Structure 1
């Protein structure tokens, strides 16, 4: 089990806010980015948030509840950015231009991208509490990306929009992972633009 972080007075002052639950969730999100869900203890989250462990348990009864709160916070902040929001239903709202916006947005928050990458990787195990969340997230992302591809690619060909959507998401996730490992070597916007250029050279079958 990971040991609690040492006291961080400056960090505690920075994160102090009227909403204690939000403060705890942000501390947990940061630690998940650093250690993953399994490597993060409640004691470490409490310490990072400037609380005792009983104080944290007053807001969240256990680590799974804390993880659920973190994922809900993420969904609230990012709803609609990855074709998964309640308004992402029309061709205009699900255009590929949104992907460019997502990439620019993610470039400004590597810690959030890292936390989601770590949690998504951990969730492939059958007993991980975030598995259902990421299964649904990727399913919705594929549907939205397929709609966006259908809107842009009107021709018929050997690659279906669903296949192209899955490949697009795989490329985006892979680029983000390489960027997290070597931020000075990987330019995600440029490389993703190059991928879209290759994709546009191949017809998409909308059937």
Structure 2
């Protein structure tokens, strides 16, 4: 009988080590959000982020290749969460599309750090050389497209006036959302971003719908 020992089984890393790594990565992302919000990309420091997390800069670089990789990871993580939560299904009406955007605004108001980061980085990313430039160009295109499609469908159903410029309405809607969000960020305790946005959406819908209806009442 052949008793030659076979290859030793490969040892896998303890399951606990994966959990620790995932938890540390999440803490790095959360801390980076606050730093990018306060100082922007260029003035933020990997050393300061690592120190706040409680690890060395080398430990941070074990999870992210550098500051640009960290920035892209932060933006991608936030975008994936928003896409899954708000944009995973097609709205059945123009009013429902605006309701989804209103829910997104309410969600942003509840996560001030990420919203402040978005405002800071969106302003910086106007520079084509900024590492987040392409991300924001693509993001705005996707959000405008998301808002345009249900508006065009509503025109075809006769819900909206036939001469509605759907892409123009979508573009202006996104601009209003960001403008109100910027004003809210300056004085969040005294500024009702969601309420003002709802009033705008209601007025906009009443000007576009063939029956003059506006935003539905919230339950």
TM range (shorter): 0.7 to 0.9
1:45 Cα deviation from its structure 2 partner: 1.0
Bigger proportion of residues as helix: 2
The 1-side partners of 2:181 and 2:168 are apart by 20
1:92 Cα deviation from its structure 2 partner: 5.6
In structure 2, what is the equivalent of residue 114 of structure 1? 116
Distance 1:178 1:188, change over 3 A: same
In structure 1, what is the equivalent of residue 162 of structure 2? 156
Among candidates 55, 66, 69, match of residue 73 of structure 2: 69
Q: Residue 32 of structure 1 aligns to a residue in which SS?
A: helix
TM-score of the aligned structures, taking structure 2 as reference length: 0.76
The 1-side partners of 2:132 and 2:145 are apart by 20
In structure 1, what is the equivalent of residue 216 of structure 2? none
In structure 1, what is the equivalent of residue 89 of structure 2? 88
Among candidates 49, 53, 56, match of residue 53 of structure 2: 49
The 1-side partners of 2:89 and 2:103 are apart by 14
Q: Which runs of 5+ in 1 are unaligned?
A: 1-16
Among candidates 169, 172, 176, match of residue 181 of structure 2: 176
CA contact (8 A) 1:179 1:186 kept: yes
Q: Which runs of 5+ in 2 are unaligned?
A: 1-18, 210-219
CA contact (8 A) 1:81 1:98 kept: no
Distance 1:124 1:82, change over 3 A: farther
Q: CA RMSD in A?
A: 2.3
The 2-side partners of 1:80 and 1:149 are apart by 21
The 2-side partners of 1:49 and 1:142 are apart by 36
The 1-side partners of 2:91 and 2:195 are apart by 27
CA contact (8 A) 2:32 2:49 kept: yes
In structure 2, what is the equivalent of residue 128 of structure 1? 130
Distance 1:34 1:25, change over 3 A: same
TM-score of the aligned structures, taking structure 1 as reference length: 0.81
In structure 2, what is the equivalent of residue 145 of structure 1? 147
The 2-side partners of 1:123 and 1:63 are apart by 15
